[in-house]
Copies of this chain bind each other. A is one copy, B any other.
Amino acid sequence: MGVRVTLRSVAEAAGVSTAAVSYAFNRPDRLSSEMRSRILAVARELGYSGPDAAARSLRTGRANAIGVIFTTGLTYAFRDPYVLALLGGLAEALAHSRTSLVLIPFAPVVAGLSDAEVRESLDAVHRAVIDGAVADGFTDDHPAVRALSERSLPLVRSSETAAGRCVLIDDRQAGRKIGRHLADLGHREVAVVLSSPREPGCAVPPADEAALYPYSRHRLAGIREALPAGARVRVVSGGNNADATGRLAATSLLAAPDRPTAIAADSDVLAAAVVEVATVQGLRVGHDVSVTGFDDVPLAASTGLTTVRQPIHEKGRLMARMLLDPDNTPSRLTLPTELVVRSSTGPAPNR
Point out residues on A near B: beta carbons under 8 Å.
25, 28, 40, 47, 49-58, 61, 63-65, 67, 73-75, 77-79, 84-85, 87-88, 91-92, 94-95, 98-105, 107, 115-116, 119, 123-124, 126-130, 147, 150-152
Smallest Cβ-Cβ distance to A25: which chain B residue:
B119
Smallest Cβ-Cβ distance to A55: which chain B residue:
B58
Contact A94–B74 (Cβ < 8 Å): yes
Q: Which residues of B contact A56 (CB under 8 A)?
A: 127
Q: Which residues of B contact A78 (CB under 8 A)?
A: 84-85, 87-88, 91
Q: Which residues of B contact A74 (CB under 8 A)?
A: 91, 94-95, 101
Contact B107–A98 (Cβ < 8 Å): yes
Q: Bound complex: CA of A103 vs CA of B78, how far in Å? A: 13
Q: List 24 A-B contacts (CB under 8 A).
A: A40-B115, A50-B126, A53-B126, A53-B129, A57-B57, A63-B129, A65-B129, A67-B100, A74-B91, A74-B94, A74-B95, A75-B88, A78-B87, A91-B103, A91-B105, A94-B105, A98-B107, A98-B123, A98-B127, A99-B124, A100-B104, A101-B103, A101-B105, A129-B129
Asked, given contacts A58-B54, A98-B107, A126-B53, whether A79 binds B75 with beta carbons under 8 Å apart, the answer is no
Q: Bound complex: CA of A64 vs CA of B104, how far in Å? A: 10
Contact A28–B116 (Cβ < 8 Å): yes
Q: Bound complex: CA of A351 vs CA of B99, how far in Å? A: 55
Asked, given contacts A73-B95, A101-B103, A124-B64, whether A49 binds B88 with beta carbons under 8 Å apart, the answer is no
Taking the nearest CB of chain B, how far is it from the CB of A338, in angstroms? 23
Taking the nearest CB of chain B, how far is it from the CB of A133, in angstroms? 11
Taking the nearest CB of chain B, how far is it from the CB of A159, in angstroms? 20
Taking the nearest CB of chain B, how far is it from the CB of A49, in angstroms? 4
Asked, given contacts A54-B129, A64-B127, A84-B79, whether A105 binds B98 with beta carbons under 8 Å apart, the answer is yes
Q: Bound complex: CA of A176 vs CA of B65, how far in Å? A: 43
Of all A-B residue pairs in the complex, the 10 with the closest CB atoms, nearest first, are A49-B150, A54-B58, A129-B129, A54-B57, A74-B91, A101-B103, A98-B123, A78-B88, A98-B124, A53-B129
Asked, given contacts A88-B79, A91-B74, whether A102 binds B58 with beta carbons under 8 Å apart, the answer is no
Residue from A50, A56, A107, A150 having most chain B Cβ neighbours under 10 A: A50
Q: Bound complex: CA of A252 vs CA of B50, how far in Å? A: 46
Q: Which residues of B contact A147 (CB under 8 A)?
A: 49
Contact B88–A57 (Cβ < 8 Å): no
Q: Which residues of B contact A85 (CB under 8 A)?
A: 78
Taking the nearest CB of chain B, how far is it from the CB of A56, in angstroms? 7
Q: Bound complex: CA of A150 vs CA of B43, how far in Å? A: 12
Asked, given contacts A123-B64, A127-B56, A129-B53, whether A99 binds B105 with beta carbons under 8 Å apart, the answer is yes
Taking the nearest CB of chain B, how far is it from the CB of A129, in angstroms? 4
**Further pairs besides A54-B63, A65-B102, A67-B100: 18, Cβ < 8 Å:** A28-B116, A40-B115, A47-B150, A49-B150, A50-B119, A53-B129, A54-B57, A55-B58, A57-B57, A57-B129, A65-B128, A79-B88, A98-B123, A100-B103, A100-B104, A100-B128, A102-B102, A129-B129
Q: Which residues of B contact A47 (CB under 8 A)?
A: 150, 152
Taking the nearest CB of chain B, how far is it from the CB of A166, in angstroms? 21
Smallest Cβ-Cβ distance to A103: which chain B residue:
B101
Q: Which residues of B contact A40 (CB under 8 A)?
A: 115
